[in-house]
């Protein structure tokens, strides 16, 4: 008995969402490792908690956006993820400038963060134009 297999191709928007989910998860893992380093090696307790919260919140909000109740809900989750990414960028620059992390590590994390920000900005703009 043969079965037919249907190949489904994701739309460009679906591909973008899958990409941002993967990037946000990988970024969150790096942020958790950074948190552990700051907390246990650098003995930094305030900024480490802030960056853990904002850096992992990006992926959490992107994940929540997968099952929106409406376009407005989807836009809200993606906007929150964008705001959290922007906050994370701030904490990374502060950690770099205060010498809690090496410039190389900070720049690597900042590059990933800016990549996420660019994708989220694009998604938010597209959804806003679609809603209007």
Exposed/middle/buried for 24, CB within 10 Å: 0-12, 13-18, 19+? buried
pTM over 0.85, yes/no: yes
At 43-88, the pLDDT tens digits run 999 999 999 999 999 999 999 999 999 999 999 999 999 999 999 9
- Is-contact 112 20, C-beta < 8 A? no
Sorted by where each begins, the domain ranges of the chain are 13-131
Residue range 13-131 in CATH 1.20.1440.60: yes
At 17-32, the pLDDT tens digits run 788 999 999 999 999 9
What distance in Å separates the CA atoms of residue 118 and residue 7, rounded to the nearest whole number?
30
What distance in Å separates the CA atoms of residue 110 and residue 120, rounded to the nearest whole number?
15
């Amino acid at each position: 008995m043969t079965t037919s297999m249907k190949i489904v191709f994701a739309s460009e928007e679906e591909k973008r969402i899958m990409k941002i989910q993967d990037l946000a998860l990988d970024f969150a893992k790096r942020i958790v490792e950074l948190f552990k380093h700051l907390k246990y090696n650098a003995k930094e307790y305030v900024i480490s908690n802030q960056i853990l919260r904002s850096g992992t919140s990006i992926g959490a909000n992107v994940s929540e956006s997968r099952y929106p109740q409406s376009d407005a809900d989807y836009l809200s989750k993606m906007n929150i993820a964008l705001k959290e990414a922007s906050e994370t960028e701030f904490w990374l620059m502060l950690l770099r400038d205060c010498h809690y992390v090496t410039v190389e590590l900070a720049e690597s994390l900042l590059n990933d963060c800016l990549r996420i920000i660019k994708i989220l900005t694009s998604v938010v703009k597209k959804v806003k134009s679609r809603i209007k």
